[in-house]
Amino acid sequence: MDYLSLPLVMRDGYLARCDLNDSIKYSVGLILSTRVGSIDFNPEFGCDLWDKEYGDLYAANKAEVRASLRNAIDNFEKRLYNVTVSFGVDEEKTTRVLGITVKVTGNFMDGKEEKKFSASYNLG
């Protein structure tokens, strides 16, 4: 089954398509990059990472931030389960201020087959 690719781009009269893994990857990226309350038709969509202070991301409260991101993914990307979230440092933070990498792993069903999901997102 084909899914719409993000960002939505019209090519030759058709919207670009992608497979299930990429669809989940784009969806999680959209969740992580959206501030809660910024979408009028669904004010709960997104994650509260963007409401945190920079220091909160490096303080001892990392478990709370990871749990918050995991909850946002659980709420808005139902195809993904057994989600884990971890942080890393973006080594190529030349154009980004925060320089944080969020790695998301989990599982999803593709038909009757369970598959592993893993993607990293550079934020900030």
What is the pTM assigned to this prediction?
A: 0.83
- pLDDT at 117 (0 to 100): 98
Q: How many structural domains is the chain composed of?
A: 1
Q: What is the DSSP string of 63-120?
A: HHHHHHHHHHHHHH-TTEEEEEEEEEE-TTTTS-SS-EEEEEEEEEEETTEEEEEEEE
pLDDT digits (tens, 9 = 90+) for 30-60: 999 999 999 999 999 999 888 776 655 666 5
Residue 54 belongs to what domain range?
Answer: 3-123
Q: What is the CATH number of the domain that holds 33?
A: 3.10.450.40
pLDDT digits (tens, 9 = 90+) for 75-113: 999 999 999 999 876 555 555 555 678 999 999 999 999
